[in-house]
Amino acid sequence: MKVRKIADLLIFGLAAAVLTPAAWAAGDVERGKAQAAPCAACHGQDGATPLAADYPNIAGQNETYLLRQLQMIQSEQRSIPLMAGQLNGKSEQDLADLAAYYASLPAKIGQAAGDDEQIAAAQQIYRGGIARKNVAACIACHSPTAAGNAQAGFPRISGQSVEYTIAQLTAYREKQRTTDELFGGMMRDTAEGLTDTEIALLADYLQGLH
């Protein structure tokens, strides 16, 4: 059942990616760069040196994921009080341009934390999931290097700070982050079975996976 669902989601994600270009004009890197100055205050000049540890790196993230998050942040389906007003008055094209710009920048590569045993435990969850708790293998959607799946719009999850990754996995688990609606609540379902300890292990590991 679970495996079936993941297969459906993968196919659905790829189908959505094929349909996407018709739905919005391609983003323009230069026009995106011209709008990015206010973003640098929090996300860093290069999109990968955030002001605070729990702010995300957005450089090198895929364009489809970035655009979808920007749309949801603008409509407040993803509520980010710190970003209130940042996207006011921006058109769909402006958001696509910002997404294209940040996608064009090099992604950050971090360093895994933890001892060999902790890394091995995290790797096991990443590659195989935890069947008895219905935790799906992360690798299926986020790729062996955690670079995500650009075509399907599955995000890169490597190189983020431990704080950011813990916050997001916890928010999915507690059903506070619901931006995975398009994918049938897949991240909420997956995070549901994770303990705080497992989330912390994964966050340490993902930081350096590449």
Rounded to whole angstroms, the Cα distance separating 45 from 40 reads 5
Residues 114-143 that bind ligand HEC (CB under 6 A): 125, 135-136, 138, 140-142
Q: Pick the closer one to ligand HEC by CB: 21 or 128.
A: 128
Are residues 204 and 162 in contact, defined by beta-carbon separation less than 8 angstroms? Answer: yes
CB 13 to ligand HEC: min, Å: 7
CB 22 to ligand HEC: min, Å: 21
Rounded to whole angstroms, the Cα distance separating 187 from 79 reads 17
Dihedral sign, Cα of residue 96, residue 146, residue 73, residue 180: positive
- Please, which residues have CB within 8 angstroms of residue 190's CB and are 6 or more apart in sequence? 129, 134, 135, 136, 138, 172
Which one of residues 2, 21, 26, 38 is an interface residue with ligand HEC (CB under 6 A)? Answer: 38
Angle (CA) 145-148-152 rounded to 5° is 145
Contacts with ligand HEC, 158-197, as mask; x by CB under 6 A: -------x-xxx---------xx--x--xx--x-------
Residues 52-111 that bind ligand HEC (CB under 6 A): 55-56, 58, 61, 66, 69-70, 80, 82-83, 86, 98
Q: Pick the closer one to ligand HEC by CB: 55 or 108.
A: 55
Q: How many CB atoms lie within 10 A of CB 46?
A: 15
CB 58 to ligand HEC: min, Å: 5
